[in-house]
């Protein structure tokens, strides 16, 4: 999955660099949704207690929750929920030193940042993960300490709204096939029995959406450091609307949605063995549904428009609301002073 590469010594809070990770994550999310869309809805895998086999093991959650727990336990034990690249602490120290010299208002950085052992861009859905087998990596905290975690909302909108939509075609194709085989009524719909494959792909989609949404914290920190004085009064008044207005960039969102429609349309085509793409059936790229398209393109765009972008913005605002916690009045006053040109 795409990540910021902390090894380069470049500014990890450069908005351009953070946005380039967000753009690469679009590809990861689209491709994993395309894979999930090959299977039927399989609602059983989202119902708690629906599998006697798991209840017998003493697990009360759903099949998907069990997959998440098992996957994240292994990843956690093998140090996955820490950065895959070892962070060069020295280069980051240099970066912070430069940042300090550049921005006197960010005087809170005069305190040497603590080293953290949890990854700033991976958020497990499961609590109580095992201790890592290897020593946790130490890396400098780039984000301000916070407990913002949107995974419960991500899990809820993905399972309730997204899965039924993106699997609609596979589900309808399945019911047609079942009818042809004489199966009708409630047995006809939704369940193709591919519980393992569907849940494995759900875990991939959930982890990539979670990573994308929590990158909002890096975006927020970057915007805050660029102009802390603009944010401080609204943070102090806990004015969510004003903070949201400050972080919202409508032109960036519009560009993103246009790009996403084009990408989803392109990736959803089956390129023939001779390398030729199929005709669009009269529809232009980015405009709706092509009969042979591997995914509901509008569904992908709606996922971003209705859920991923709004939730990223919520994470950004929640992060900002916590941004002055623990600072002295003197430190806050310094941040509230406009930067001299
Ligand atoms: O790129 C930014 O500035 C962001 O804050 C990220 C993001 C997004 O979710 O893509 C969210 C809010 C902005 O309005 C634009 C885009």
Q: Look at residue 118 and tell me whether its pLDDT is greater than 60.
A: no
pLDDT for res 275 = 72
**Which strand (E) or helix (H) includes residue 260?**
helix 250-267
Residue 100 pLDDT level (bands cut at 50, 70, 90): very low
Reply yes or no on whether the pLDDT at 136 is more than 70.
Answer: no
Give CA–CA dist 102/106, Å, rounded.
Answer: 9
Check residue 201 and give its pLDDT. 97
For ligand 1, the distance from its centroid to the CA atom of residue 231, given in whole angstroms, is 16
| Mean pLDDT value across residues 185-196 | 81
252 and 59 in contact (C-beta within 8 Å)? no
Q: Which residue has the higher pLDDT, 4 or 108?
A: 4
The mean-pLDDT minimum among 95-104, 179-188, 248-257, 278-287 falls in 95-104
Share of the chain above pLDDT 70, in %: 77
d(C-alpha 192, C-alpha 171), whole Å:
8
Residues 142, 95: Cα–Cα separation, whole Å: 11
12 C-alpha to center of ligand 1: Å?
A: 17
Distance from the alpha carbon of residue 215 to the mean position of ligand 1, in angstroms: 10
User: What's the 184 CA to ligand 1 centre distance in angstroms?
Assistant: 46
pLDDT, residue 106, reads: 38
pLDDT of res. 41: 94
Average pLDDT over residues 199-225: 96
Distance from C-alpha of 320 to C-alpha of 221, rounded to nearest angstrom: 8
Q: Taking every pair of C-alpha atoms in the chain, what is the biggest distance, in angstroms?
A: 77
* Per-residue pLDDT tens over the stretch 273-287: 777 766 544 444 444
21 within ligand 1 shell (Cβ under 6 A) = no
**Closest ligand 1 atom to the C-alpha of 223?**
3
| H-state helical runs in 167-194 | 168-180
What pLDDT does 1 receive?
A: 77
169 Cβ closer than 6 Å to some ligand 1 atom: no
- Whether residue 313 has its Cβ less than 6 Å from ligand 1: yes
What was the pLDDT predicted at 7? 58
The span from the CA of 213 to the CA of 315, in Å, is: 7
CA neighbor of 140 nearest in space, from 188, 108, 93, 178: 93
Count of beta carbons in the 10 Å neighbourhood of residue 22? 19
For the ranges 12-21, 159-168, 236-245, the maximum mean pLDDT occurs at 236-245
Nearest residue CA, atom 8 of ligand 1?
309
Q: How far is the CA of 22 from the centre of ligand 1 (A)?
A: 9
Q: Which SS3 state, helix, strand or coil, does residue 210 take?
A: helix
Q: How far apart are CA 168 and CA 161, in angstroms?
A: 11
Q: Cα(164)–Cα(159) distance, rounded to whole angstroms?
A: 8
Is the CB of 226 inside a 6 Å radius of any atom of ligand 1? Answer: no
Ligand 1 close to Cβ of residue 219 (< 6 A): yes
Indicate if the pLDDT at residue 79 is higher than 90. Answer: no
- The predicted structure's pLDDT at residue 127: 81
User: Is the model's pLDDT at 83 over the cut of 70?
Assistant: no
Mean pLDDT across 199-216: 96
Q: Is the CB of 19 under 6 A from ligand 1?
A: yes
Rounded Cα gap, residues 217 and 148, in angstroms: 9
Please state, rounded to an integer, the average pLDDT across all residues of the chain: 82
Bigger pLDDT: 239 or 90?
239
Look up the pTM and report it: 0.83
**Predicted pLDDT at 114:** 44
Classify 266 as helix, strand or coil: helix
CB of 252 shorter than 6 A to ligand 1: yes
What is the pLDDT at residue 164? 94
**Residue 132 confidence class, pLDDT cut points 50, 70, 90:** confident
For 278, phi and psi rounded to 5 degrees? -70, 160
- Please, how many CA atoms are within 13 Å of residue 73, restricted to the half-sphere of its CB? 8
Confidence of residue 48 (pLDDT cuts 50, 70, 90): very high
Inter-axis angle of helices 216-226 and 15-36, to 10 degrees? 160
Q: How many helices (H) and strands (E) does the chain have?
A: 15, 2
- State phi, psi for 167 to the nearest 5 degrees: -95, 5
* 120 Cα: distance to centroid of ligand 1 (angstroms): 18
Q: What is the pLDDT of residue 326?
A: 96
Statement: residue 50 has pLDDT above 70: yes
For ligand 1, the distance from its centroid to the CA atom of residue 52, given in whole angstroms, is 43
pLDDT at 86: 29
Give residue 65's pLDDT.
96
Q: Is 209 in the pocket of ligand 1 (CB under 6 A)?
A: no
- ipTM confidence score: 0.99
The answer to whether the CB of 71 is under 6 A from ligand 1 is no
Of 40-44, 63-67, 171-175, give the lowest mean pLDDT range. 171-175
């Amino acid at each position: 999955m795409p990540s910021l590469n902390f090894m380069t010594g470049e500014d990890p809070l450069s908005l351009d660099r953070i946005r380039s990770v967000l753009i690469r994550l679009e590809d990861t999310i689209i491709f994993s949704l395309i894979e999930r869309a090959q299977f039927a809805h399989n609602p059983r895998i989202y119902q708690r207690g629906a599998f006697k086999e798991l209840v017998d093991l003493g697990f009360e959650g759903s099949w998907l929750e069990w997959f998440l727990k098992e996957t994240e336990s292994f990843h956690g034990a093998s140090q996955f929920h820490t950065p895959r690249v070892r962070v060069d602490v020295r280069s980051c120290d240099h970066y912070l030193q430069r940042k300090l010299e550049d921005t006197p208002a960010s005087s809170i950085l005069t305190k040497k940042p603590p080293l953290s052992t949890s990854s700033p861009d991976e958020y497990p859905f499961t609590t109580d993960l095992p201790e890592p087998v290897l020593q946790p990596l130490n890396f400098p905290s780039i984000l301000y300490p916070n407990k913002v975690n949107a995974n419960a909302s991500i899990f809820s909108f993905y399972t309730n709204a997204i899965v039924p939509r993106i699997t609609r075609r596979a589900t309808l194709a399945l019911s047609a096939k079942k009818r042809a085989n004489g199966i009708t009524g409630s047995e006809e719909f939704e369940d193709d029995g591919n519980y393992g494959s569907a849940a494995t792909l759900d875990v991939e989609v959930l982890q990539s959406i979670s990573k994308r949404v929590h990158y909002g914290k890096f975006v927020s920190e970057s915007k805050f450091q660029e102009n802390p004085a603009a944010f401080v009064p609204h943070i102090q008044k806990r004015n969510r609307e004003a903070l949201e207005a400050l972080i919202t960039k409508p032109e960036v969102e519009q560009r993103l949605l246009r790009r996403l429609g084009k990408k989803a349309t392109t990736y959803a085509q089956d390129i023939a063995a001779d390398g030729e793409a199929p005709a669009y059936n009269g529809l232009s790229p980015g405009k709706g549904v092509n009969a042979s398209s591997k995914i509901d393109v509008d569904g992908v765009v709606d996922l971003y428009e209705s859920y991923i972008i709004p939730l990223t913005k919520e994470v950004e605002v929640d992060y900002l609301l916590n941004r002055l916690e623990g600072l002295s009045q003197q430190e806050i006053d310094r941040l509230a002073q406009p930067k001299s040109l």
